[in-house]
Amino acid sequence: MWISLSLLLLTAWCCRADGIHRDDGLKLSASRVTPLRSRRMIGGTLAPLVPWQAMVYLSDNVRTGGYAGGALISDRWVLTAGRNLFLNKSRQDTQRKNPLIPKVYLGISGRSEAKASSEVAVEKVILHPHFQNQSDWDNNLALIQLKEPVVISDKVTPIPLPERGQDLPDSTEGSGAIAGWGWGVYLNLASSLKHLILPLVDHSTCKAEYERRAFMPTVDDSMFCTVSGRLEENVCFGDAGGALAVKDAETGDIYAAGILSYDKPCRLHKYAVYMKISSYLPWIHKVTRGDTQNSQAVRSQTMAKMYSWQQMYS
């Protein structure tokens, strides 16, 4: 069999430990060559304070939602994976159900810092309108509106969205940085934020890999992938929602290229799958502007009047 005995034993142990589907864990994976005491830290290096990193929190217990990542993209909005806002995450479980309202913590590195002083109140949650329209992984995005603007500082700073021309090509080189909290191989919670630098990988390679496997994402043009690192370090259960930060080679600008969607590679698969933010900018801008159903019509009517009046009085 292509899955090793050790992996089967680990999976069985994990399922016994939490009693639910493994979607509900968190954490960067561990190395097989280090002592147990430090193993949970090998899958990711201790992170500096990442000022755009948000903790999207439902509970401490994976059985009741756990917690995951998000990215502060303005003083009022956090972008995350839509699946993070449901207890049961499959399409059959989420259809016709409203997402849960999470707690959101900003400006923290240690898990113990997730307390009232770092919590920001949530106004509402908006799922992408086509969230899971055909599969568990389609349009896996949600926007969380905060009740009040946050105070921007060295500890809390949004990460920019891609600008014109900052669209990752299908065949790409380079790497990105992602941070997260959560579960390691032995279901031990990380006390501090970890991060990984992961290489970007050719879109067609990742797409072909998952086309051969059942219950995996269909890697379409709105997605891109990273590959595990040299020591097999990778994202794992519950790191979803974190932003992959990249650096523009020409301008040096740092921006969020994607939001981690498929966070299940661990050591079983090489490729992590992200929602490509540049593909979703029209939706993000529409929501964060506060557009209503009539906004586009109002703008069009106003422009038409401006032109007609100019002609009338010229």
User: Range with the lowest mean pLDDT among 73-77, 184-188, 206-210?
Assistant: 184-188
81 part of a folded domain: yes
Residue 231 has pLDDT above 90, yes or no: no
Write the CATH number for 124: 2.40.10.10
Task: Name the residue with higher pLDDT: 83 or 312.
Answer: 83
For the cut 60, the answer to whether the pLDDT of residue 15 exceeds it is: no
Distance CA 147, CA 98 (A): 19
CB 29 within 8 A of CB 180: no
* Residues counted in the chain: 314
Predicted pLDDT at 7: 40
Q: Does 83 map to a domain?
A: yes
The verdict on residue 214 lying in a domain is yes
Instruction: Give how many domains the chain has, as a whole number.
Output: 1
Q: Is residue 163 part of a domain?
A: yes
For 97-148, how does the pLDDT look when each residue is reduced to its tens digit (9 = 90+)?
999 999 999 999 988 899 999 999 999 999 999 999 999 999 999 999 999 9
| pLDDT surpassing 60 at residue 78 | yes
Task: Let me know if residue 40 belongs to a domain.
Answer: no
- Reading the block at residue 313, the tokens are 């009085």
Comparing 70-84, 117-131, 205-219, 277-291, the range with the smallest average pLDDT is 205-219
Q: Collapse the DSSP code of 190 into the 3-class scheme (helix H, G, I; strand E, B; otherwise coil) and give the result.
A: coil
Domain interval for residue 73: 45-312
Please check whether residue 89 lies inside any domain of the structure: yes
**pTM recorded for the entire structure:** 0.83
153 pLDDT band (50/70/90 cuts)? very high
Instruction: Please check the confidence at residue 313 and state whether its pLDDT lies above 80.
Output: no
